A and B are shown apart, each in its own frame.
Chain A
Amino acid sequence: MARYIGSRLVQAIPVLFLVSVAVFSIIHLTPGDPAYVLLGPNALPDQVKEIRAELGLDRPLPVQYAVWVSRVVRGDLGRSYLNGFPVIGLLDRAWPVTLQVTIGALLVALAVAVPLALLTVRFRRTWVDHAAGAFVAVAYGMPTFWVAILLVFVLSIRLRWLPPSGYVSLGQDPGQALRLLLMPSIALSLGVASVLARFLRATLLEELAREYVRTARAKGLAERAVLYRHATRNALVPVVTVLGMQFGAFMGGAVLTEAIFGLPGVGRLLWNSVLSRDYAVVQAAVLVSAVVFVLINLLTDLCYGLLDPRIRYG
């Protein structure tokens, strides 16, 4: 087991290295740089040269890359080119927001998908099944940002039930914080919920057909007990996969949702930084999200091992 983890982590190194090269190159090769953003259109060319020199942007790209990487491996993610704040500080403030929305979305997704899947299995091939199937199909197709816009319009502008945007930390004002997280969570959850519901349904059906279930039924256990106790546990394997992948995806930042709901998370940080060419922030944020991706992958694979005795890592 330890050897498996070890080898996976070693394999992650070249990936992260390539990611660092990729993000550095792409953002530096994009026309424009932070000096122009700082000074604006009425600046003089000399001033731009000054600022670029101050920010170290006049050095050759490979040198800049080497400097950046050497700092990163020592844990120094650098400072924002625009406002000089340490990038770690900016990320520290952003990731809890994204984390809260991610967890919110996954919870809502589970709360919707699990009962839905159980319902459709219990009443399979009836109208309940078909109606749920239709709902799931439509929910999957709705673009997150459209759902977000609709939610804001209905719940905030027309009904005035919820505030339209903004963020408050859970520690500060839990009531308001939850009210502000509700719509973004719902918007993000629909896609996951439909995938989850379909998955759960498929795997539950598969499980129910298996040997040991038939044995349990033969022994006379109630249908419900059979369903809940045996089938559900084994159905968790694909659930874990889906949740893992979605977690990784969301932590990368649901850029559009954060933009609409004014959430100061990683997505919005990344978007603003790309637009203002804040190289340090973009590079650090993408690298961190890559690390999260690798770790989540590893965790979900390990969970497989725990849940399914057939899968073991030597």
Chain B
Amino acid sequence: MGTAAAAISPSVLARAAQAQGKGQVTVGLPADILNFDPSMKQFSTYPVIRQVYSKLLDYTVAYQPVPDLAVSWKIADDYRSATFKLRPGVKFHNGRTMTAKDVVAVFERAMNPEFGQNLVTLTSGQGMRAVTAVDDTTVRFDYEYQTPNILDTIQEVDIIAPEAFSQLRQTTIGTGPFKVAEWVPNDHVALDRFPQYWNSGRPSLERVTLKPFNNPDAMVTALQTGTIDIAISLPYPQAARLRAEHDLVIQGDSTGAFLNNFEMNPQRPPFDKKLVRQAMQYAVDRETILKTVYAGLGQVRVAPYPPNSTAYNPELNKRYRFDLARAKQLLTQAGYPNGFKFTAPITPASADYPQAAQILKADLAKIGVDMEIQLVDIARFVPMLFGGQFDMTYAFVALNKDPLTLFRNSAYRTFSSPVFPQGNFPAGYVDTINAARHTVVKEARYNLFTKIQEILLDEAWMIPVCSHEVISGWLKSVHGFSWDIDFEIQLDNTSKS
């Protein structure tokens, strides 16, 4: 079984690779990371997360749980608690051994409204009540109610050394395969191999450099010229072309989990009328947007869930289609025979947003609806969103893992909703979602999610357009590059030939 390999220590192999220039990989990113704090992680930070942090468990792209810092777990029959057995001897980047107490501290921070930031909704917001260290290597999680997606709530949290809690903006101490060497904002993040990573033999790379590119075209050229080895989130028009190049591997994530929607604000006329919103559903040319903006890399959606989700119901996708005549008919019925005017603030950070908006605008113009697009940068847009100061906008939602994931998005959630600020949700919406939160029986859940989607389609304030793939490209000399269900890329098994 490869005694020779076992005789040569992994660090020696790594150093040998380094000497040949093969121990180093440069990854191109579309944007700089925000900071190292997982409670604030956004899509731009994802590339660095799996390199420096590990979780108790992770999911493969096919939503299969994989043990990571926990070797095994048991979920109680009443789905109100789960006990995890931790892997012994896991070391933090500063050399200290991880214990159950550390895990407890991390989860308590995540649940704490003062420090947990975006993790609060994902943990206590989904029923997590308490975390206790049963002994040095066992942790128990307790829940308020029967929680069908217990594993999801635990997979969301990255394990950090509690002593690093106050420095998470600039650096961190995790248990991942790499540790932070340096971060020069707007320039690069350098990560060094962590020799005491629990999965000995990994990683084989000595160093990983993450470089943000302001200009996506420059990133493509850098990949083509070999200046970078891997590029994340390639622009769509280029992806198809690059596939033809011989020394590149281009692959998309095909989970269908990234959904784009138009979002209407039912507090603002004329979108306060259901018929008007339904009319808009017929005005969106989903096929064209998918083809033109996303180079066909994705799938058209009418109902939000992708085919591989447990809530997927193919009948629901037949509810709407592109039909301007029908849209016009509904508008006339609603009392707007001559159309109307509205404004749509759109964030230009991602090139597809303004493009999709312009396609809709052109189609709406044909039925007398005047859509005024305003490019608004993210810092200005988020408060507008929170305050409901928009008629319509365009946004993306991640729908991986349990179907309940959809409801952490501000447009879909059942509390502090910018689109239903007074809590005047459509009849049955909140109750059905809460029921789905507390039901563990598969069949019952499926029916509940079908009911929720029917409400969503009927009330129609969200217009799902299509899913888009996130395309990554890498040189043929790079092997073992992969990502998990959240599209957090993994370099622990990556090597260069």
Chain A residues near B (Cβ < 8 Å): 30-34, 36-48, 50-51, 80, 82-85, 90, 93, 156-157, 160, 163-167, 259-260, 262, 264, 268-269, 272, 275-277
Contacts and interface: CB of A to CB of B under 8 A. Distances in A.
A165 B187 CA distance: 12
Interface string B348-391: 00000000000000000000000000000111111111100000
B213 A46 contact: no
A157 B217 CA distance: 10
B395 A39 contact: no
A69 B383 CA distance: 28
Contact of A259 (B120, B211, B215, B384): B215
A156 B218 CA distance: 10
B408 interface: yes
10 contacts: A36-B382, A44-B416, A83-B35, A83-B185, A163-B222, A269-B186, A272-B32, A272-B186, A275-B379, A277-B379
Contact of A48 (B225, B386, B409): B386
A275 B377 contact: yes
Contacts of B380: 30-32
A156 B217 CA distance: 12
B169 interface: yes
B382 A32 contact: yes
Contacts of B170: 83-85
Contacts of A34: 379
Contact of A46 (B32, B113, B185, B395): B113
A41 B186 contact: no
Contacts of A45: 386, 416
B229 to A, nearest CB: 14
B213 A47 contact: no
A64 B487 CA distance: 40
Interface in B203-222: 211, 213-215, 218, 221-222
Contacts of A277: 379
B118 interface: yes
B35 A43 contact: no
With a 10 A CB-CB cut-off, give which of B114, B121, B378 has the most chain A CB atoms: B378
Given A31-B383, A34-B379, A84-B35, A40 B213 contact: no
A47 B117 contact: yes
Interface residues of B, number: 42
A51 B186 CA distance: 22
Contact of A42 (B118, B211, B377): B118
B40 interface: yes
B227 interface: yes
Contact of B186 (A46, A47, A84, A264): A264
A181 to B, nearest CB: 16
A33 B382 CA distance: 9
Contacts of A33: 379, 383
Contact of A36 (B121, B218, B383): B383
Contact of A165 (B118, B185, B222, B378): B222
Contacts of A275: 377-379
Contacts of A40: 40, 42, 118, 382
B455 interface: no
| Most chain B beta-carbon contacts within 10 A, residue among A43, A46, A83, A260 | A83
A166 B222 contact: yes
Contacts of A50: 113-114, 117
B165 to A, nearest CB: 13
Interface in B64-118: 113-114, 117-118
Contact of A39 (B118, B169, B183, B213): B118
Contacts of A47: 113, 117-118, 120
B259 to A, nearest CB: 14
B379 A268 contact: no
B427 interface: no
B184 interface: yes
Contacts of A269: 186
A41 B215 contact: no
A48 B117 CA distance: 8
Interface in B169-195: 169-170, 183-187
Contacts of B121: 42, 44
Contacts of B114: 50
B467 to A, nearest CB: 18
B395 to A, nearest CB: 7
Given A47-B113, A90-B185, A41 B395 contact: yes
